[in-house]
Amino acid sequence: MPGERILVVDDNVANATLISFLLTAHGYDVRSAADATEALALVAEFAPRLILMDVQLPGMDGLSLTRKLKGDPQTRDTLIVAVTAYAMKGDDERARAAGCDGYLSKPIDTRTLPGVVAGFVRRADPDGGGKP
């Protein structure tokens, strides 16, 4: 849903730039962070509706950061979608167990990403049909 705030957390600058460009072109308000420390600062300041969370981050990994955000009453309702290039059997279950609301594998399909993001936001909207 255009206008929604999205945070892209990815230590790969090319990935973060591509995702940000695609979503900005579809009307989303997008910011990016390269690690957990930067992400936590942006979450407090920017209050994103959705976070696209790389699982492999330097320092605190994406699933640990997800647990931290989902454990905080201020951020527990923020949608978090795990994104990983190292998709292995069971990763989806581990992401959901950490509190992620969804899971995407890299490489990102540039043709479908905006629609996928819109689907997550729409299903999580109280008037849009419930959480994915």
Task: Write out pLDDT tens, residues 24-49.
Answer: 999 999 999 999 999 999 999 999 99
Q: Does residue 131 form part of some domain?
A: no
- Give me the sign of the Cα torsion angle 94, 18, 48, 28: negative
Q: Is residue 129 part of a domain?
A: no
Number of domains in the chain: 1
Least confident segment among 15-24, 63-72, 123-132: 123-132
CA distance 59 to 16: 18
Q: Answer yes or no: are the C-beta atoms of 121 and 10 closer than 8 Å.
A: no
In a domain, 132, yes or no: no
What CATH number corresponds to the domain at position 107?
Answer: 3.40.50.2300
Answer yes or no: is 34 within a domain: yes
pLDDT digit string, tens, across residues 110-126 = 999 999 999 998 876 65
Which residues span the domain enclosing 23? 5-124
